[in-house]
Chains A and B, each alone.
Chain A
């Protein structure tokens, strides 16, 4: 493979961080320590990391309710994220947002979003900012197969095309909108929809980091150079339920075991690099250990951080009022 050892280990580290983060949130949620509800991204890592590897501080992303992976891939601090998920004062949003609203505008992360289809119009605006102020930035909207059916998403395809905005729409098709199969809920195809708006679409194996990385590279470069919006349609899966506590009775009995065995993006990443690659199995094992320690520290920090105070209830509604 033509990738440097440093690139391979950095990319693997981000993917492994997402996986470990989500596995720990899964475990800790089951103990009752995490309030509210959470939607986990485990299984979809190759998409977030393959796309965000091409982005820098000029660029903005908007995410979905399943947003932890996108946050990590765009550079949000995992300790600040974990504190936010625990509802702590030291969280990225001071404990006022929670899992579904994690954001860090200083990192170009315009927020996870509790409204399915909420992100694409916002991303058109972030792209308009980049275009108007000539920053050279691009904006990326992650949407699921469920969000792909919202009018906001379809309207955003059109607006991005009409205004020739530097936008990439990443449709992460994990097969299910909540409990409903995408094969049932999506009329036509994602690529066909893109074609209808005059937007190029690349279909990609969302389990394969390298496939996502290469497809996203061309679409993002095109958008950055004034070529207008593009779509990446990544087929992938989630290992956990729609939300934690979802018994997933709508999935086939052996589905998850089979996907974990055959379609684990981290295992596929290591296999593609191969035993004789520029990064060795020992290198990847070392990254795994490092990531585990970092997430352990994040959980400990979240558990021991203070909750918001009564005064925090009333602040941050307005800049001035």
Chain B
């Protein structure tokens, strides 16, 4: 296995599925870049270079640059999916869902149910989320709970290069609409990624650390922070299990409940705003289903209920980090 970045892993997943299935197409703003411009073709390969090189191998008929028109092209991706293609559409920043949400939640998400099970919508929307880029309030949000809320959508949050490739291949082969959320800070993270194609099933959590004293459930980029915290806690004699659910819809409730039954203590780390978040959702699940196992109150670690600030000093305060996880873990251990 070779070390690859999260960005390379995503690019490999798309390319391997495009080779395998001629119905897979890619569309989005600047996915190649330079359309109609006097300079080079494939000038950008996506705003952060994730789709670089695809147009060279697959051509402009299968790698479509779009105008800046999210309502039209996300809707077109939904319509294409319902009529025989398997589009991988890129919604550059998850924050832009505000201009095309109808096409996602009223159209793509509902076709199958509204049409009595007689529609299949194999659509993947890749989108970049998360704070840490000094990108301010309209380019930094972690809006995955909003998609998780919608029946008919599946929501994926890969936390590592290995997971990114396997989960994206699964998403492209999946027959339901999938919102594939890529954390922008992770694109340059490296990890072992096989060259060949492989899939990771949805709804199966990954235990990135195993321990018996404490359960930490973390999502996306927060998994890395949770791992660092767990390693530090181990040095202090506290063994924590870190659960990366990998997908928020479907959610591997069983693994979370089993683990809490064993440890009796739960910390949830979520980069989304606190209200109606994954942190709130997991807390609700455990409070309802595993209350009798709890030895301490559940602790959630989220940003404050504010927009994402611009100033680096403020943004660093905003994003949950290792110190807050350690503080919460020690508090539940001492309860």
Q: Which positions in A face B, CB cutoff 8 Å?
A: 60, 62, 91-97, 101, 103-106, 110-111, 113-115, 118, 120-126, 128-130, 132-133, 139, 151-152, 155-156, 158-159, 162-163, 315-321
Contacts and interface: CB of A to CB of B under 8 A. Distances in A.
Nearest to A316: B117
Interface residues of B, number: 47
A101 B115 contact: yes
Contacts of B107: 113, 115, 118, 121-122
B85 A128 contact: yes
Contact of B79 (A92, A101, A121, A163): A121
Pairs A-B, 4 closest by C-beta atoms: A121-B75, A125-B79, A94-B116, A122-B79
B175 interface: yes
Given A121-B74, A151-B71, A163-B64, A319 B112 contact: yes
Contacts of A111: 111, 114-115
A320 B113 contact: no
A92 B119 CA distance: 12
B116 A105 contact: no
B316 interface: no
B154 interface: yes
B293 interface: no
Contact of A129 (B85, B115, B152): B85
Interface centre among A60, A103, A130 (most CB of B within 10 A): A103
By DSSP majority rule, is chain A's interface helix, strand, loop, or mixed?
mixed
B78 interface: yes
Contacts of B40: none
B186 to A, nearest CB: 26
Contacts of A133: 23, 84-85
A168 B160 CA distance: 45
Given A103-B114, A118-B107, A126-B80, A156 B72 contact: yes
B101 to A, nearest CB: 11
A38 to B, nearest CB: 16
Contact of B118 (A60, A93, A158, A159): A93
A98 to B, nearest CB: 8
Given A94-B116, A118-B102, A133-B84, A320 B64 contact: no
B326 interface: no
A96 B114 contact: yes
A182 B196 CA distance: 58
A152 B67 contact: no
B66 interface: yes
Given A132-B25, A163-B64, A91 B76 contact: no
A158 B116 contact: no
Interface centre among B64, B85, B106, B154 (most CB of A within 10 A): B85
A110 B114 contact: no
B83 A93 contact: no
24 contacts: A92-B116, A92-B118, A93-B114, A93-B115, A93-B118, A95-B116, A97-B115, A97-B116, A103-B114, A103-B118, A105-B82, A106-B118, A118-B106, A121-B79, A125-B76, A125-B82, A126-B79, A130-B83, A159-B69, A316-B113, A317-B113, A319-B176, A320-B175, A320-B176
